[in-house]
Structure 1
Amino acid sequence: MATRLGALLLGLLWLDLLSSLAGDQQQHILGAPHTRGVAEAVKYMVIIDAGSTGSRIHVYTYSPGMEGLPMPDIRLPDAQMRGLPGLSAFADKPQEAGQSLQQLLDFASKQVPAREQAATEVHLLATAGLRLLEPRVAEAILESCRNILLASPFAFRKSWASILSGTLEGVYGWVAANYASGALQAYAARRRQGRRHPSVAAPFVGVFELGGASIQVTFHVAKPVNDTNVRILNLPHLGIPLYTHSFLGFGQETAQILAATAALASMANLTTDVVVDDQASVEVAMDPCLPRGYSGTVNGRPVAGGGYFGLCRQLAANLIAGQCTSPRCPIGNGSVAPPLLQGKFLAIENFHHTASLLKLGEQPSLREVAAAGERYCGAAWPLLQEQYAQQKTSQELLKYCFSAAYIVALLHDGFGLGMDERQLHFTNSVTDRRGLQVDIDWTTGAAVVAAALASSGARSHSSYDFLLFPHRVDHVMRASSATVKAEFYLLAALAALFAALLALHLFGSRIWKRKGQTSSPRHPSSPRTGTSLQANWKPERRAD
């Protein structure tokens, strides 16, 4: 009887180990799924997106996952407020940066009940604006922010304010889009039911973000490939291979500055003599990326808007591909060539803003973007100011001639999209399961990931730890090929070990039966092999 119980116990332990490894290859990183049967109290999370042009505070309300719910329930849309300028604007006076957050914190304190504020974590994650600064200056800006955050009513530690890597910014944006649409929840639910490669209710969408100082590209790949930019997204019930890469320095704002500088150099011979106040004429350089009729200065030098879309696009293409003539050149003559885009994409931020202003709809072709950009660039500057006075400031309107040209050059000359393709949806929102439009923001993805880790019930680090160390992407993503191989070999080794232990156990049970024939039935001795098996099993269990 004892031997049968021992064998049964060993078998159950083995099945439990198999389910933890084979049922979900990533589960051992984040622990077993949350299995509490009753809903927990509503929780709050505050995340500050310190971007290149402004800071935005997000207040999220969520409920941890329960039994039967594969992921936490984040209430969308979140409460948010934007403040100007961006933290990078304080490079010359970093000690004043923190004060720019005060109005944002005042807003958040009105969203979170007073009784919950001390338990609500606030995180500040800076993006490309601070990535481009000298590390010493960026750290001084962050330290100023930490002092303000420490004085807030929310839970905060100094290490909770940091610079977010471009890789995780891209991943968070992808998570946000696919969580809001319900695709992640559908995939996780079917994965939990034991389907290794479930067909999701709504297909995953890639996210292509044109920010102010960087570009993020993230999308699901059909299978892991030998590419350092492909990672496995590891969350409870999820194991999704993603391509993700951030092209720092090629956002719209930084690219336009580079283009303007290049224009001054390349257009040195294309100047116009302009008479100013009946005085001597002034030599003015022509910038093809500024609307026709605009006059101003660039780097202290007088410039006039030429409104030449074709020349502007050529300047943009030179920034992206340099002198390269192949269909897919490394961006900026760097080491990373643009990937072949797979599947449906959401083109967000400046992609969307440009298409919206030019009234192009959600799914224009690049040919339509080029035609609209040519009309905008060639329109008289006073007419543009009058036409868009209710929508944009004059300073903002100066961006869209270049933006249209840059989008065409980036997607066609850089990423190889055809001029008539309609693979991208220029939008900043997705339709959720309720039929409502929800904005896409990487901070939502960060909130989903942190809440999912908390709800897994087995992680040893706090949400702050995950958000604080963006460079430790193995907390969420691992190199796909190495992971699959390691887990395969581990599983094979454990299978061999189990077979050996089972054989040893059966051999020992036969010896026990022989001894049992001569031993007193009232005082059976415990089989030493059973104790040995338990002792040998536990270290393997702990190793998992």
Structure 2
Amino acid sequence: MIDTHYNAGGRHHRRNVRVGGYYNHHFPASTTSTTTPVKKRRNDNNNTNNNNKRGQMKRFLESLQMLALVLVFCLFTLHYGKALPKLFRHPHFKHVIIIDAGSTGTRCHVFRVAATSSVTTTTYGKDASVTPKLILPTKSFKTTPGLSARALDPSGIDAALRPLLNFARESVPMENWKETQIHLMATAGLRHIEQHLSESIIDACRETLRESPFSFEKDEWASVLPGTKEASYGWTAVNYAFNALSPEKTPKETYGVLELGGASMQVTYAVPHATAKNVVQKKHKETVRVGNSVKHLYASSLLGLGHEAARAEYHAMLRREYETTGEKPNNPCTNRGWTPQTTVQHGEALAVGAGPSKPTGNFTACYAMTKKLLGLAENTKDCPRTPCGMRKEHLPPFDGKFLATENFHYTAEFFKLGKTTTIRDFQRAGEKLCAESWGDVVKKRFRKDQKKWEEIDLSKYCFSAAFIVAMLKDGMLLPEDLKFTVGNNVGRYNVDWAMGAAINIISSKIAVASILTPDNSVGRSASASASDIAAAAGLAPSSASSHTHEANDMFWWCVYILAGFFGCSKFVFSGVWEMLYFKRWSAPKRKPVTE
């Protein structure tokens, strides 16, 4: 076929020759020949053959795609047949509510617990059964000030707890309210005030919790938490996150926990059963039972040796010396050039650098004065049983790792000591800071966008460093070069005594085999997987076993996805196959046309 176009002058401009169903634009206008009838029939036959082949290939691809879909369904049913009902069931969680009534504020923790989870007896022994799983991270909400601020007016307790209960209502589905236990545990804030005042506050809390929509069955579910129990709960949470609660873990393989709070300090570590039975004093004995795992602890709560309480006592020592001598005493724990000020935090006035004194900024002298705060024995006669630690109390042998939290962590963070540090590191940092003038301290470490109380806060770190060195070196009898971990987190998760309390409550309700926690050890937080979160604070397969199952599941899911994509993407794959397989027919090579 020849298409002829004419220009304005009536002369030939261009002729397009159609060959085999395609136009050839490259023939000159003078060309006059056309395709012969024989060639035209040959092209028609080629087109018919191409169409037949294309139809056969399409039918083959459609059959292959249907086969892939059937294969996906069969493999999925065989591999996940037992789990299919669960895939279409909305996950059901139980909840536990812990209200932490602290000294500076009250925090509500809502822990989610997977309702049931079965384990194999081959992995966990003959006692293996249903186990709880806490789903981390938890939800929490804090209000200030603490309940101790209402000591003289318990009628305000209801109003103080309402925001926390509203938060719990929002965090727990309505259908679970009646079965969700709620516990209130008060710590050093209420331990520090007179007993009749703390009892009136707790009674008011019980009245409010009884009227809540949650399960509050026993009066002891709202109480002042003994210091040793708080310490054991903190130890449970930390070792839970470090994978150290399983029965085969020895005391040396667990982590001791040193918590330097504001009002008190907690010292907790595991000891062998024989030591717990024959050496540890009764008031310091605690036992942690999680499933068939039993750990014996030395737990000591030292009220008055918290960071803020000890610092207040240090300033009281200076005031007493001034009142006795009438002269301003040296204040080695405060930088030269510091002027006493008063700041307000959480509605409470805090006298900083209280009492007439002369700031001298000397670490060695400050260290000597902080040792006096610890109540150390001056000689072995004062120690009923050696070795003696703080307040002349016997310290059972400690041989293992430990995690230092709260003010240990904040002080190490201020000095930029890193997650792993030593007593000697604290000492060197303290010596350098204490020797600086207050003007240099502010110039180097205070930014203009910070608040005034943050500037005042800088004045405490000379004392903090010296107090920590005295506490660890002389109070705990630890070597200066012993490396230990500082921080309030293990991996991605914040660990505190409230988590340990939740684990204890759940373990007492459900018979469990053992607790194996998520692989969230420090330094591996970035690689923590979703299975770690799901297994957190619950019983999960061993690390190697779980990783194997995850690898198998990943392989099969890849197979399902690829096969399903192939089976469902009919048009995509058909187009691709046509483009690749029929290229030589759908775009034949152009042949020269004879005139």
CA 380–65 in structure 1, closer or farther in 2 if over 3 Å, else same: farther
Paired residues of 1:295 and 1:302 also in contact (CA < 8 A) = no
3-state SS of paired residue (1:345): strand
Secondary structure of 1:78's aligned partner: strand
SS at 2:258's partner residue? strand
Q: CA deviation at 1:231?
A: 4.4
Secondary structure of 2:136's counterpart equals: coil
Residues 207 and 346 in structure 1, CA contact (< 8 A), matched pair in contact too: yes
Pick closer, same or farther for the CA change 1:269–1:295 going to 2, 3 Å: farther
State the shift of 1:343 in Å: 0.5
Equivalent residues in 2 for 1:149-160 (5 A)? 149-156=209-216, 158-160=219-221
Task: Give the match for residue 378 of structure 2.
Answer: 324
1:75 aligned onto 2:135: yes
Matched, 1:210 2:260: yes
Q: 1:306 to 1:99 in 2, by over 3 A?
A: farther
Q: Hey, what's the Cα distance between the residues in 2 that align with 1:181 and 1:216?
A: 19
Contact 2:287 2:295 in 1 (8 A): yes
Letter aligned with residue 299 of structure 2: T
Does the 8 Å CA contact 2:107/2:141 hold for their aligned counterparts?
yes
Residue 164 of structure 1 is matched in structure 2 by 225
Q: Deviations over 1:377-421 (max 9, x none)?
A: 344445545624549724543432222111100111111112222
1:318 Cα shift? 0.9
- Name which of 21, 42, 45 aligns with 2:93: 42
Match for residue 427 of structure 2 among 370, 374, 388? 370
Select which of 412, 429, 438 maps to 1:355.
412
Q: Name the CA shift for 1:100/1:306 in 2 (closer, same or farther; >3 Å).
A: farther
Query: What is the SS of the residue equivalent to 2:137?
Result: coil
Q: After the TM superposition, which residues 131-280 of structure 1 pair with which residues of structure 2 at under 5 Å, given as runs?
A: 131-156=191-216, 158-184=219-245, 187-188=246-247, 198=248, 203-225=253-275, 226=278, 227-228=280-281, 229-266=284-321
2:395 pairs with 1:338: yes
Match among 79, 90, 110 for residue 59 of structure 1: 110
Amino acid at match of 1:341: F
Q: Which residue of 1 aligns with 2:575?
A: none
1:311 to 337, 359, 365: 365
Between 158-167 and 230-239, report the one with greater CA deviation.
230-239
Q: CA deviation at 1:138?
A: 0.8
1:3-45 alpha-carbon deviations (Å, 9 max, x no partner): xxxxxxxxxxxxxxxxxxxxxxxxxxxxxxxxxxx99931111
Distance 1:388 1:97, change over 3 A: farther
Deviations 1:101-139 (A, max 9, x none): 333333332222233233322211011221121100111
Give yes or no for contact 1:51–1:87 (8 Å, CA) kept in 2.
Answer: yes
Change in Cα spacing, 1:382 to 1:43, as seen in structure 2 (3 Å) is farther
Structure-2 change in CA distance of 1:155 and 1:399 (3 Å) = farther
Aligned partner letter, 2:182: V
Is the contact made by 2:288 and 2:295 (CA closer than 8 Å) also made in structure 1?
yes
The within-5 A match list for 1:435-446 is: 437-446=492-501
- The Cα shift of 1:72 comes to 1.7
Cα deviation for residue 173 of structure 1 reads: 0.9
Partners in 1 of 2:202 and 2:175 — Cα distance? 28
Equivalent residue in structure 1 for 2:173, among 101, 113, 129: 113
Deviation at 1:210, TM superposition (A): 1.3
Flag the 1:231–1:153 CA change in 2: closer, same or farther, 3 A: closer
User: Where in structure 1 are there 5+ consecutive unaligned residues?
Assistant: 1-37, 189-197, 272-282, 432-436, 459-544
TM-score, normalisation: structure 2: 0.59
* Matched residue type, 1:414: G
In the alignment, the residues of structure 1 paired with residue 207 and residue 459 of structure 2 have an alpha-carbon distance, to the nearest angstrom, of: 37
Residues 83-122 of structure 1: pairs in structure 2 closer than 5 A: 83-122=143-182
Name the SS of the counterpart of 1:183 in structure 2: coil
- Greater gyration radius: 2
Residue 239 of structure 1: SS of its match in structure 2? strand
Moved more, 391-400 or 102-111: 391-400
Give secondary structure in 1 for the equivalent of 2:253: coil
- Runs of 4+ aligned residues of structure 1 deviating over 6 Å after TM superposition are 268-271
Contact 1:267 1:286 in 2 (8 A): no
8 Å CA contact 2:265–2:302 kept in 1: the answer is yes
Partner of 2:478 in structure 1? Answer: 417
CA distance in 1, matches of 2:419, 2:133: 29
Does the 8 Å contact 1:105/1:152 carry over to 2? yes
Q: Please give the root-mean-square deviation of Cα atoms over the aligned residues, in Å.
A: 3.2
TM-score normalised according to structure 1 size: 0.65
Is the partner of 2:112 in helix, strand or coil? Answer: strand
Residues 46 and 123 in structure 1, CA contact (< 8 A), matched pair in contact too = yes
Percentage of pairs with the same residue: 36
- Tell me the distance in 2 between the aligned counterparts of 1:257 and 1:136: 25
Match of 1:519 in 2: none
**1:89: how far off?**
3.0
Per-residue deviation, 1:161: 1.4
Q: Deviations over 1:240-263 (max 9, x none)?
A: 222222222221121111111112
Alpha-carbon distance between aligned partners in 2 of 1:267 and 1:328, rounded to the nearest angstrom? 35
Q: Which shows bigger deviation, 403-412 or 52-61?
A: 52-61
1-structure distance, mates of 2:249, 2:362: 48
Do the aligned residues in 2 keep the contact of 1:208 with 1:348 (CA within 8 Å)?
A: yes
Amino acid in structure 2 at the alignment position of 1:58: H
Distance 1:46 1:306 in 2: 49
Distance 1:396 1:55, change over 3 A: farther
Q: Cα distance, 1:323 vs. partner?
A: 5.6
Whether 2:289 is the aligned partner of 1:289: answer no
Aligned to 2:503: 448
1:374 partner amino acid: E
